[in-house]
Structure 1
């Protein structure tokens, strides 16, 4: 007798439910095991072994990312992979083929556990992707560990096999030994680099949170001062965000040669500096500013991130109009930490602000590209002469957009709210795995200020902002000045200007950039021209600047130069710019409102006069 259909269907549902439960149970215990074996560090080599659980498909694609988090550029991360081998758990070799530059396709994998092994060549120190030598290894897993669509969500256990006396550190949780780390998934793995080798290590607690400072390399740094200042710095985040997204944070520092820059990660950062760029006040201030920048990123981008970057797509570009808010706002907010922690003086802040204003004034690209466009095009952005004349920068112009927004919020709320409140609300309302769009930022701006920011946004983010720096600074009791302290007011206040920059190389005095609409631009000079003479006399000692002191503004002079090895000449009508560098000064007799504005902006009292 046949079973009733309802009973049959019920049994099928039970079988399906049991099967799903078993699959979930298996999946819950599934993981990826990663062995990284460093036996030839002097040759920059490592062997990587990966063990994946059973595959349920006949062909599996194994990927290595085409970019790493924190740098919005596609990179050739797969170029160091050799000796790729795929086997099953019985040791049988599986066939494979490479289907594009970063994808290895393994066949015959159904119902088999897959074991991969390959060699990694790691000599990309300045890229902050992978570097191995006889003293250490820095491993960003984006450039080391492959993944599949199925394995991305699985836990990863990384076991390092490294030379004796090496010590290993990461923002990842430690495993069964000092060289083992555990990631909850692939995304956490690639956002938690590993530093292993001969290093200096400091560990300290601030407000019940554990911090580690790991330094590789030798230089003129003072690690004791670093620790003391970081202790102060990390406390200042309370002025922006309510709450911490971590219990442990690792600061990794490379004191080295031929590499500079930094990259933020989910609960760690890697900072690279020239080994002798720590001891002077100028150099140390630059270092601690980078530390502040990367620490701000712990919230801004690592906890709340624009739509288009959530979740990360590691195999192609991730587009957003809001990268200026990711990077430029971080550059802006870093000063909030430095100033409120008294790690930077007001005079040093004024100097940094003056440099940013000067750069903007000599950035013709700000009339050609909006900061939203620069965000979208960050993946293909160009620096140098073209970038300056025809583009803007998500860091520099993103900083200025943040500054404009901050002052507008302060104005609209009678100093009760600021841009810091916007970032705290992004953290509270749009924490990962959520993302935020422009509409979400505008909504938060209205919540914070009670005002509609649609027109402001269109003018300054999707339009080319017109910044009146004098008006902006005056709100906080500040002004711009080109005069030196104690300088005779009757002395000459300008110098001649051509609008070109040069560098001395094997070819001679080579033009490296020409500012658009400058005298040199109108004279037809361009990059790679080799200047040999001015008014018929050879440039001596590579010094064009001193030679130009012999002339006056509005005077026309002759440049002799090589272009494509052909000697030619052109006439340049000189112009004038301020002789001295721009300074930000405190105005005389600042009003009480200006003093309150400065306090609300920086957290500090406005100085009675400009610090000497």
Structure 2
């Protein structure tokens, strides 16, 4: 009888095991006990596989950066073993693929060394004070294991603290990802850091700061609490219960990357305290927070699902990045984290950059989206291309004003983004026709012709007309009382860098005086009108001349001395300013409020 009961219990247990099989999990052990040499030892344990050989991959790019990267270049001492500890044969089939053989019905353990010294790329960085781990640059995956749960265990110095947007496991250095995609979109920051928590509307937020600098974490916390409340003005609902702001206050690295419920922001350690520097920081935080919806929850066709082994193409990356740049100001203005004057200044800089970007006549914002993977900066980027952030911002602005106008201020571009969130959330995606359908639903109008002209084409933007709708105007005033004055200064179209006392041309604007004279990048300017040019003297020397005057510029090209005659032109001496018109109408004031969410700034 007793034996029968034992057999019955075993049978029932086997039945439930078959009915509810254990969830396959990949164990990820990362040992950073000796971080001063930027080295970690990674151990990956995979459940039993059903193939005689398995390809293990490292991504060729990471989320949030549309650029192929050499992420596999830091991996050495690769070893594969089965569950019994027997060494398995392997070979590389390409730069980031390791093929392991003899794996049928075996558990697999991979061990390898990772060299982590890529701080600026926000991929992996280990030193004696911290470890920043974006798993796309550290953890291998297979086609099967990509869908499996990953349990990450860090072995770090005792004084370190570890944080991530991932769920915490059995200890403070263990994290759990439901699959590989979540793992690589949830970086880990471990080390000597400053940590804070706050709650807003039943959601937990964390601020983790690594590095020393002139930041004020109390102010950062206060402003972040205000910032996160403003998303309700765009989207209905939250895609997370917990969000982590990670900040690196460091040297030689800058930039930020959005992740599924966290962000990593890198800034120079002394770029926090001055108002313009702090405004830049909080604007970046707003940008990355907007991304929590735009791209992390609704994503264009072509990058759903992510293909980590090659470029992911879409004509809508401008909407991913440029619209995020545009919507960040909705959060900042509505939270009173930036003044209207500061907003006007940021807007003026974007208009000025657009006006001095000849590439806008050669490449549409849709083409720039598709070619984002091969985009170039510098002289070529300026004269022959556009940027998905900058031009995407302007395309979003045009759309917003068009929607506001057509709906008599009852709807805006924010409504379109909320509909993208509601209708096309992952694992779904959206395409251009989906966006056009949403725009028609918001306004009642067909947008195919508008799209062809402004997104697929290279339209000219009438900024004065655009600004006038909101009661604003462009000026080059030296002061408020003399708003219409437009003093000029001479202009060559040259941009230069000074390196080891050499004045080196970094960019020449297309059709500018210097362009017409044949001067190009990497020319080394040595003299103007026969007199030597010293470090950082170019701008001051040009003040001695007038518009339409011809000067002779001497320069070295390929170590040969050459000269060029440059006929100077004129541009406004003062920076472009955006200001309220003197007597804004009721309609203009209402338009401004519907656009920004704040009252029209009455002139002082």
**TM bucket by the smaller chain?**
over 0.9
State the TM-score, normalized to the length of structure 2: 0.96
2:47 is aligned, of 42, 53, 69, to 53
1:232 matched to 2:226: yes
1:295 matched to 2:289: yes
In the alignment, the residues of structure 2 paired with residue 386 and residue 525 of structure 1 have an alpha-carbon distance, to the nearest angstrom, of 14
In the alignment, the residues of structure 2 paired with residue 86 and residue 507 of structure 1 have an alpha-carbon distance, to the nearest angstrom, of 53
1:322 is aligned, of 310, 316, 321, to 316
In the alignment, the residues of structure 1 paired with residue 167 and residue 139 of structure 2 have an alpha-carbon distance, to the nearest angstrom, of 17
Instruction: Look up the match of 2:498.
Output: 504
User: Shift of the alpha carbon at 1:588?
Assistant: 1.0
User: Shift of the alpha carbon at 1:505?
Assistant: 0.6
Aligned residues: 591
- List aligned pairs for 1:43-442, cutoff 5 A: 43-442=37-436
In the alignment, the residues of structure 1 paired with residue 17 and residue 359 of structure 2 have an alpha-carbon distance, to the nearest angstrom, of 59
In the alignment, the residues of structure 1 paired with residue 204 and residue 246 of structure 2 have an alpha-carbon distance, to the nearest angstrom, of 14
For residue 401 of structure 1, give the secondary structure of its aligned residue in structure 2.
helix
User: Shift of the alpha carbon at 1:408?
Assistant: 0.1
> Do the aligned residues in 1 keep the contact of 2:378 with 2:507 (CA within 8 Å)?
yes
The Cα offsets for residues 260-287 of structure 1, whole Å up to 9 and x where unpaired, read as 0000000000000000000000000000
1:556 matched to 2:550: yes
1:468 matched to 2:469: no
For residue 104 of structure 1, give the secondary structure of its aligned residue in structure 2.
strand
User: Shift of the alpha carbon at 1:486?
Assistant: 5.4
The Cα offsets for residues 538-574 of structure 1, whole Å up to 9 and x where unpaired, read as 1134311110111110111100110011011110000
1:454 matched to 2:448: yes
Instruction: Look up the match of 1:513.
Output: 507
After the TM superposition, which of the residue ranges 584-593 and 486-495 deviates more from structure 2?
Answer: 486-495
User: Shift of the alpha carbon at 1:608?
Assistant: 1.1
The Cα offsets for residues 197-220 of structure 1, whole Å up to 9 and x where unpaired, read as 000000110111000000000000
The Cα offsets for residues 380-415 of structure 1, whole Å up to 9 and x where unpaired, read as 000000000000000000000000000000000000
For residue 600 of structure 1, give the secondary structure of its aligned residue in structure 2.
helix
Cα pair distance change 1:552/1:492, threshold 3 Å: farther
Instruction: Look up the match of 1:15.
Output: none
1:42 is aligned, of 32, 36, 39, to 36
> Do the aligned residues in 1 keep the contact of 2:501 with 2:534 (CA within 8 Å)?
no
Structure 1 runs of 4+ aligned residues shifted over 2 Å read: 19-26, 486-492
> Do the aligned residues in 1 keep the contact of 2:478 with 2:485 (CA within 8 Å)?
no
Instruction: Look up the match of 1:3.
Output: none
Instruction: Look up the match of 1:11.
Output: none
In the alignment, the residues of structure 2 paired with residue 490 and residue 204 of structure 1 have an alpha-carbon distance, to the nearest angstrom, of 48
For residue 551 of structure 1, give the secondary structure of its aligned residue in structure 2.
coil
In the alignment, the residues of structure 1 paired with residue 282 and residue 58 of structure 2 have an alpha-carbon distance, to the nearest angstrom, of 33
Cα pair distance change 1:24/1:577, threshold 3 Å: farther
In the alignment, the residues of structure 1 paired with residue 161 and residue 522 of structure 2 have an alpha-carbon distance, to the nearest angstrom, of 47
CA RMSD of aligned residues (A): 1.5
In the alignment, the residues of structure 2 paired with residue 346 and residue 207 of structure 1 have an alpha-carbon distance, to the nearest angstrom, of 27
> Do the aligned residues in 1 keep the contact of 2:150 with 2:178 (CA within 8 Å)?
yes
User: Shift of the alpha carbon at 1:506?
Assistant: 2.2
> Do the aligned residues in 2 keep the contact of 1:507 with 1:530 (CA within 8 Å)?
no
After the TM superposition, which of the residue ranges 490-499 and 122-131 deviates more from structure 2?
Answer: 490-499
The Cα offsets for residues 141-186 of structure 1, whole Å up to 9 and x where unpaired, read as 0000000000000000000000011000000000000000000000
The Cα offsets for residues 236-272 of structure 1, whole Å up to 9 and x where unpaired, read as 0000000000000000000000000000000000000
> Do the aligned residues in 1 keep the contact of 2:477 with 2:484 (CA within 8 Å)?
no
In the alignment, the residues of structure 1 paired with residue 501 and residue 383 of structure 2 have an alpha-carbon distance, to the nearest angstrom, of 25
In the alignment, the residues of structure 2 paired with residue 513 and residue 473 of structure 1 have an alpha-carbon distance, to the nearest angstrom, of 30
User: Shift of the alpha carbon at 1:484?
Assistant: 1.1
Instruction: Look up the match of 1:573.
Output: 567
> Do the aligned residues in 1 keep the contact of 2:32 with 2:40 (CA within 8 Å)?
yes
The Cα offsets for residues 301-350 of structure 1, whole Å up to 9 and x where unpaired, read as 00000000100000000000000000000000000000000000000000
> Do the aligned residues in 1 keep the contact of 2:498 with 2:535 (CA within 8 Å)?
no
For residue 408 of structure 2, give the secondary structure of its aligned residue in structure 1.
coil
The Cα offsets for residues 64-93 of structure 1, whole Å up to 9 and x where unpaired, read as 000000000000000000000000010000
In the alignment, the residues of structure 1 paired with residue 19 and residue 139 of structure 2 have an alpha-carbon distance, to the nearest angstrom, of 25
User: Shift of the alpha carbon at 1:483?
Assistant: 1.2
The Cα offsets for residues 28-75 of structure 1, whole Å up to 9 and x where unpaired, read as 521100000012200000000000011111110000000000000000
> Do the aligned residues in 1 keep the contact of 2:486 with 2:572 (CA within 8 Å)?
no
1:604 matched to 2:591: no
User: Shift of the alpha carbon at 1:297?
Assistant: 0.2
In the alignment, the residues of structure 2 paired with residue 226 and residue 489 of structure 1 have an alpha-carbon distance, to the nearest angstrom, of 36
> Do the aligned residues in 1 keep the contact of 2:476 with 2:483 (CA within 8 Å)?
no
For residue 352 of structure 2, give the secondary structure of its aligned residue in structure 1.
helix
> Do the aligned residues in 2 keep the contact of 1:70 with 1:263 (CA within 8 Å)?
yes
For residue 40 of structure 2, give the secondary structure of its aligned residue in structure 1.
strand
> Do the aligned residues in 2 keep the contact of 1:156 with 1:182 (CA within 8 Å)?
yes
1:443 matched to 2:437: yes
User: Shift of the alpha carbon at 1:20?
Assistant: 13
Cα pair distance change 1:61/1:24, threshold 3 Å: farther
1:537 is aligned, of 528, 531, 534, to 531
User: What are the ranges of 5 or more consecutive residues in structure 2 without an aligned counterpart?
Assistant: 1-13
In the alignment, the residues of structure 2 paired with residue 271 and residue 584 of structure 1 have an alpha-carbon distance, to the nearest angstrom, of 29
In the alignment, the residues of structure 2 paired with residue 509 and residue 390 of structure 1 have an alpha-carbon distance, to the nearest angstrom, of 24
Cα pair distance change 1:569/1:334, threshold 3 Å: same
1:546 matched to 2:536: no
